[in-house]
Amino acid sequence: MTLSNLTTDATMNASQPGSSRIGLIVPSSNTTMETELPELFRRQTAATGHTYTFHSARAALKNVTTEELLAMAAKAADCATAVSDADVDVIAYACLVAVMAQGPGAHEPAENVIRQAALDNGHPAEVTSSAGALVRTLQQLGARRVVMVAPYMEPLTQMVSDYIEGAGIEVIDTVSLGVNDNLAVGCLDPLNLPGFARNLKHEGADVIVLSACVQMPSLPAVQAVEDELGLPVITAATATTWEILQLLGHTPAIPNAGGLLAGTVASLVPRIRTDA
């Protein structure tokens, strides 16, 4: 078989039914979203047979400061145009605080900008954002009170808390790890997260947000914390994954990443919907 035939065959295979393309818009210094999401979707593939490929566009961000986050947000349309060239099925804007830095509810206009850019480029796609996915997932779970672990300096953690509260959900306790270098955030040890979660004042909480940042690794700890504390555990990454699956019309079937993605979260949340 010639090289040209191999290339043609690969292209045809990627376009066949049974495979979906996922576009990601990520900070240039992100090292986690492009590892945790593919791992989650690998587990989905193992359970369902449907395959997924990932295609990224990057926007400059080194330090998690309000100034750099707003500069990154201004590049969302250009990144959406670039990633839509791959004719992706879904685009996920994978920087939670870049959206939240624009104020409560900012995920809706941000997602519209990306949606319109892809449409104008001739490759319309479904769109989500990690900020929107986190808020909407909490709302769909019926959560009224949450606790949260975040890697940021305290002012940014407070901004995320205010954003969630702007969606009608009370944040009753937070842990702020005080890291503003985005590469350093990606090097944080997820095995420390159970200890942070254990020390949160989670009495009265409906959901634990174990990582309010797509760059802070959390996947190895999600199931362990949920099993230990008996509360639904979500992260920016698992919420984004759940919403991508919803947009594709796929039923979550991902093991060892919390009840949300295993499809069993309902067994953990009946009291959320019935408490006065």
* Per-residue model confidence as pLDDT tens digits over 169-196: 999 999 999 998 878 988 999 999 999 9
Active site residue 79: no
Q: What is the CATH number of the domain that holds 88?
A: 3.40.50.12500
The first and second tokens of residue 71, run together, are 């500069």
Q: Which of 26-40, 102-116, 123-137 has the highest mean pLDDT?
A: 123-137
Q: Is 199 annotated as a binding residue?
A: no
Q: Is pTM, for the whole model, over 0.85? A: yes
Of 95, 179, 212, 261, the active-site residue reads 95
Give the mean pLDDT of 204-217: 95
> For residue 23, which of 79, 99, 98, 100 has the smallest C-alpha distance?
79
How confident is the model over 266-270, as a mean pLDDT?
60
Mean pLDDT of all residues in 103-114: 91
pLDDT at position 268 is 65
Neighbouring C-beta atoms of residue 107, cutoff 10 Å: 24
Q: What is the dihedral of CA 174, 179, 185, 189, to 10 degrees?
A: -70
Phi, psi of 146 (to 5 degrees): -135, 160
CA-to-CA distance for 174 and 55, rounded, in angstroms?
33
Binned at pLDDT 50, 70 and 90, residue 15 comes out as very low
**Known active-site residue 187:** no
Options 131, 141, 159, 213, the catalytic residue: 213
Question: Has 83 been labeled as part of a binding site?
Answer: no
Average pLDDT over residues 70-81: 80
214 is in an annotated binding site: yes
Q: What is the domain range of residue 261?
A: 3-274
Structural domains of the chain, count: 1
pLDDT band at 16 (very low <50, low <70, confident <90, very high): low
**Annotated binding residue at 152?**
yes
pLDDT of residue 44: 98
